[in-house]
Structure 1
């Protein structure tokens, strides 16, 4: 079932709509939190998914005012571009430094170069796409297998170093989303419908979306907990200050109480204030008298809790 009188299958259109909604949401998040570099890499991934699905769904179509050979070049080009981005995404988003060579040099040599040679230059000369696909997919297919192994090894090696289980599971899940892209190199060799191709290559998008929302929810919980603790600390500080004023403690006495909070002994407090230990003892006695307590534990409890 096609939509809007184009070559786009309804399933492809659904993926395009989902990816577009995710892109809008991600763009808003990125501009709100520009320091979140992960969002930037993920937004680029969404854009490439959109380009791949739109061009792969629309092209080739003789009704479009673009030469069919150019349409074929663009459609295959967006697929190669998306596949080429995966190593760079793992390198940057997950800080897998061992992938640097593949992300910066291996991909241009073994993925983009075959595309330019066979699907642009040779195809423009001979006009025989079947022959170009037959030979142009050999190197990318072999390199795709190598990349899958290299990425998995980089993920496992980092896990061995950091032992961050949550991060490891996230990276493995993302790895599973890109694995079906190995089949992209086979689609050119065998005739498959748009539905089979889009389901295979976009299955990972669902997993990526789940991972993204899980990561966002996890980060939101961490931010909330951090803010809650900060608010509690601020509340305790304000409450402590209010109680000190309520009991009429002087600035010197408040300073001594703060030292008692940290566990300093009388002698250590005297050294910090450059006074005698007897002076500290007299201040503490005055503090006990004003707050009507008999020991340090009772004092700390009284100043940390609301006064009734």
Structure 2
């Protein structure tokens, strides 16, 4: 969603206003400025949900509609539609959003610091710095509207924030996937141990099952455990009898699924 909003913001900011376009200039300007407000409005919700910053909940659901979306509707839609003076709307319509952006930026910095302060290490410190770099361009959206910076500088700044956010998101996704995989492995190990107790499998039989699961043949298991293939075959038959299965696939499924 954030990347789609960024794409929409870049396209409208680059194309509008264009007198050769079929839309009226006032509508083009409403869309162009609206894309910036829309993307800025999504940032607090993104950091509240994805980056797990609970302090941003009120701002995501109430602060943004009141202090970002409402000023946009009042000045850039209603007032601009009535009077057609975009310079005046830029002058007064960005006062509240700019002040609110500074307040929200402080809240976001504070909540990020609180999140990482309790359990700080080198890896988390890097992630914390990356989050600071990611949210800083968010506040610059309103700043650019006030100072009317060049579009190149504006795009480079805002897009750099998205790059940092994307890096953080991918890093967290990888970390969450590894944690989930680790939890799954621990759960499988625990369940397997319990099932082995239920079926009264011996230590040797458990070793053979684990090697079975790795795809080893009877001869390879025999070599790994320094026993004969005939002994392995006898153990396997005992395992089948105890667990009530008659093949390796059914055995693996019964003990590990």
TM-score when normalising by structure 1? 0.58
Deviation at 1:194, TM superposition (A): 2.2
Please show how residues 1-308 of structure 1 align to structure 2 within 5 Å: 44-160=1-117, 162-163=118-119, 165=121, 169-225=126-182, 241=201, 306=225, 308=227
Secondary structure in structure 2 of the residue aligned to 1:133: helix
Unaligned runs of 5+ in 2: 207-223, 228-257
User: Could you say if the C-alpha distance between residues 101 and 230 of structure 1 is closer, same or farther in structure 2, counting changes exceeding 3 Å?
Assistant: closer
Counterpart-to-counterpart distance in 1, 2:205 and 2:52:
51
Deviation at 1:196, TM superposition (A): 1.6
Aligned length: 206
1:23-59 per-residue CA deviation (whole Å, 9 max, x = no partner) reads xxxxxxxxxxxxxxxxxxxxx2222212211211221
Any conservation in 2 of the 1:114–1:140 contact (CA below 8 Å)?
yes
User: Could you say if the C-alpha distance between residues 105 and 245 of structure 1 is closer, same or farther in structure 2, counting changes exceeding 3 Å?
Assistant: closer
Secondary structure in structure 2 of the residue aligned to 1:64: coil
Deviation at 1:223, TM superposition (A): 4.7
Name the counterpart of 1:27: none
1:197-250 per-residue CA deviation (whole Å, 9 max, x = no partner) reads 111111112212222332333344445555666677788887x9365569xxxx
1:239-283 per-residue CA deviation (whole Å, 9 max, x = no partner) reads x9365569xxxxxxxxxxxxxxxxxxxxxxxxxxxxxxxxxxxxx
Any conservation in 2 of the 1:155–1:168 contact (CA below 8 Å)?
no
RMSD: 3.0
> Which deviates further from its counterpart, 211-220 or 78-87?
211-220
Unaligned runs of 5+ in 1: 1-43, 247-304
User: Could you say if the C-alpha distance between residues 214 and 241 of structure 1 is closer, same or farther in structure 2, counting changes exceeding 3 Å?
Assistant: same
Secondary structure in structure 2 of the residue aligned to 1:202: helix
Counterpart-to-counterpart distance in 2, 1:55 and 1:216:
30
TM-score when normalising by structure 2? 0.68
Greater relative CO, 1 or 2 (CA 8 Å, sep 6+)? 2
Secondary structure in structure 1 of the residue aligned to 2:149: coil
User: Could you say if the C-alpha distance between residues 96 and 222 of structure 1 is closer, same or farther in structure 2, counting changes exceeding 3 Å?
Assistant: closer
Q: Which has the larger radius of gyration?
A: 1
Any conservation in 2 of the 1:243–1:307 contact (CA below 8 Å)?
no
User: Could you say if the C-alpha distance between residues 154 and 168 of structure 1 is closer, same or farther in structure 2, counting changes exceeding 3 Å?
Assistant: farther
